[in-house]
Amino acid sequence: MQITYKQLEALITDTRFQELKFRQEKTNVFTIVGQTHTEHWHSSFLRWLLDAHSSLRLGHFPLARLLTLYMIKKPDCGFTLRDLYNWDLDAVRFSTEKDASFNGKKRSIDVCGESPELLLVIENKVNARENYNGTGQGQTQDYYHYAESVRRPGQRTLYFFITASQKQTCYADMYVQISYQELFDSVISKCIAHPQVSEDGRYLLEQYAANLRETVQGSNTPMALVNVSLCKSLYNRYAEVLDGVFQIVEETENCRNSSAPACMAYEHYRNVFDEIFLSVDERFGRTPKARLQRQSVNFTELYRRGAVTDDMAFHMVFDGETYQARTVLDDDGQNCYFQLLNDQGKPFLKDGQIVGIYENPFQAGVDVINLKREKQGVSGRVKTLPETSCWTNDAGLSVQDLMDRY
């Protein structure tokens, strides 16, 4: 495969490519002062973000978004939108390192929100894992016991476990787990786009979002990807070029000294290309050289959490066509995968061997749609899976629903 100078020039001079480059190169004050991924710093930011009286000038809008996300991830939470609208969210006061010592154990809650109606307990994990203090009980259970012992009559307690790693789970099952990617998508990005946000507030939110692109210490994954829509729009326009760059760079041993135009462009704009590759998870979800990976919860993880079972059926509707799939376990019963099925509900075969088994259901969707289009002689190929088209199980839950709830 060859990528020409003309193809690369069209991509690189596209205003979206240059906008992505500009966002990456803007000075990040948090990186300058060396406060990128410390838990206390992130907790302080959360307190400021959720405080209805902060300099954001958005009132309780950010807190309402967080509570709505709580409802989405926990449908049996016991409250409704009407409750949320009736609560006096402006009255919630937030603090960090709230003393939560209980039964002789010295504990402190990362972020605590209190009002006559609500008691919000937020445990924040960035680099560290949950602390057991040499016992068989995690700190989140201790916070629960403390909060239930001090809450006032009529006060509702809500528990949040916010984590940089989507694979890290919470000891106490009453907590709703929220990743920093979800926090950005559901709360921070909405605040940035709000027409009433203060100029200083938007600046700080954008700086914080830029900081979330940094990888967490000891991992090869960023805390959150904050330009996904921009990256996917670029891929939809330049799929052939970006596919070619990825393949050529990955297959070239010494990319820095290569004479291939794709390698030269990648070396010069590596950060821009890498963010695109990470953001387009249906096609890549990783980078060709730095080996950074996008955070994702695969089917093995969902199986371990009890979100899916072996042979769980899924279907997807796209352009009036229905597609089938199911979950399958490997021979050891340890790993779970997503298997495409043909129109008769049977596995796809090639040369007598079963094919069509994936870790990524989104890529599976793209491939099976294009396979049917090819067989039907339909021109044009799907490059990414539209958000309106998704795999759902017999209970009506999409793959994203399962990731959100477990």
Answer yes or no: is 217 within a domain. Answer: no
pTM (2 decimals)? Answer: 0.75
Strands 176-179 and 313-318, sheet pairing: unpaired
Q: What per-residue confidence (pLDDT) applies to 48?
A: 97
Last residue of one domain, picked from the residues 173, 190, 212: 212
Consecutive H or E run containing 371: helix 361-376
Assess if residue 287 is contained within a domain. no
152 DSSP assignment: P
Structural domain contains residue 30? no
Residue 158 belongs to a domain: yes
- In this predicted structure, what is the pLDDT of residue 12? 98
Count other Cβ atoms within 10 Å, centred on residue 215.
16
Residues 45 and 163 in one domain: yes
Residue 394 covered by a domain: yes
Q: Which residues, 6 or more positions from 213, have their beta carbon under 8 angstroms from its beta carbon?
A: 24, 222, 223, 224, 225, 226, 275
Identify the pLDDT of residue 152.
93
Domain co-membership, 44 together with 124: yes
Verify that 264 and 318 share a domain, yes or no: no
| 78 and 199 assigned to the same domain | yes
In a domain, 53, yes or no: yes
Q: How far apart are CA 134 and CA 132, in angstroms?
A: 5
375 & 398 share domain: yes
For residues 104 and 252, state if they share a domain.
no
Of how many residues is the chain composed?
A: 406
| Residue 113 sits in the same domain as residue 247 | no
Enumerate the β-bridge partners of residue 98.
Answer: 109
Distance separating alpha carbons of residues 342 and 324, to the nearest angstrom: 7
Domain that residue 246 falls in: 5-25+226-279
DSSP annotation string for 175-229: SEEEEHHHHIIIIIHHHHH-TT--HHHHHHHHHHHHHHTSBPTTSSSBS--S-HH
55 and 195 in a single domain? The answer is yes
Query: For residue 124, what are the β-bridge partners?
Result: 162
Residue 157 host element (H or E): strand 156-163
pLDDT at position 338, please?
92
Q: Is the dihedral angle over the CA atoms 282, 167, 186, 391 positive or is it negative?
A: positive
Are both 17 and 49 inside the same structural domain? no
Instruction: Give how many domains the chain has, as a whole number.
Output: 3
pLDDT at 375: 87
Boundary of a domain, candidates 212, 242, 257: 212
Please tell me whether residues 82 and 52 are part of one structural domain.
yes
Whether the CB-CB separation of 116 and 151 falls below 8 Å is answered with: no
E strands along 6-104, which residues?
A: 93-99
**314, 193: one domain:** no
Q: For residue 267, with 0-12 CB atoms within 10 Å meaning exposed, 13-18 middle and 19 or more buried, which class applies?
A: middle
- 286 found inside a domain: no
Does some domain include residue 42? yes
Task: Please report, in tens digits, the pLDDT of each residue of the chain (406 residues total).
Answer: 789 999 999 999 999 999 999 998 887 777 666 555 677 888 999 999 999 999 999 999 999 999 999 998 888 899 999 999 999 999 999 999 998 887 777 888 999 999 999 999 999 987 666 666 656 677 889 899 999 999 999 999 999 999 887 767 788 889 999 989 899 999 999 999 999 999 999 999 999 998 888 776 656 678 888 998 999 999 989 999 999 999 999 999 999 999 999 999 999 999 999 999 988 876 777 888 866 666 566 788 788 778 899 999 999 998 888 999 999 998 888 889 999 999 999 999 988 889 999 887 888 888 899 888 888 888 777 777 765 457 999 998 887 777 766 6
Cα–Cα distance measured from residue 314 to residue 96, given in angstroms and rounded to the nearest whole number? 43
Structure tokens at 339: 């298997």
- Same structural domain, 190 and 152: yes
